[in-house]
């Protein structure tokens, strides 16, 4: 019984600190890439990104070459 509890605690710790934050960070990057791809076709890039919820500072921290 005690060994099962130890394994459950180890798996729970890995999920909580490594796997779930990794998924959330990746999902945020995917949303940002989709927003930049759809806004690059428009003339007013910054205005389009603000409408999608990204301000200028965040845009240049994520990708300074835009």
In the chain, what are the domain boundaries? Answer: 2-62
Measure CA of the first residue to CA of the last residue in the chain; give whole Å: 56
| Listed residue (42, 23, 36, 39) closest to 62, CA to CA | 36
Residue 30: the pLDDT is 82
CB 56 within 8 A of CB 44: no
Phi/psi at 11 (5° precision): -65, -40
| Structure confidence by residue, pLDDT tens digits, 6-62 | 888 888 888 888 877 878 778 778 888 888 888 888 778 778 878 877 776 666 666
Report DSSP letters for 19-47, one per residue. Answer: IHHHHHHHHHHHHHHHHHHHHTTSS-HHH
């Amino acid at each position: 019984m005690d060994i099962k509890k130890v394994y459950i605690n180890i798996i729970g710790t890995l999920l909580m600190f490594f796997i779930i934050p990794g998924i959330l960070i990746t999902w945020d990057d995917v949303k940002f890439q989709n927003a930049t791809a759809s806004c690059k076709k428009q003339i007013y890039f910054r205005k389009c990104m603000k409408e999608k919820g990204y301000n200028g500072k965040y845009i240049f921290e994520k990708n300074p070459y835009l």
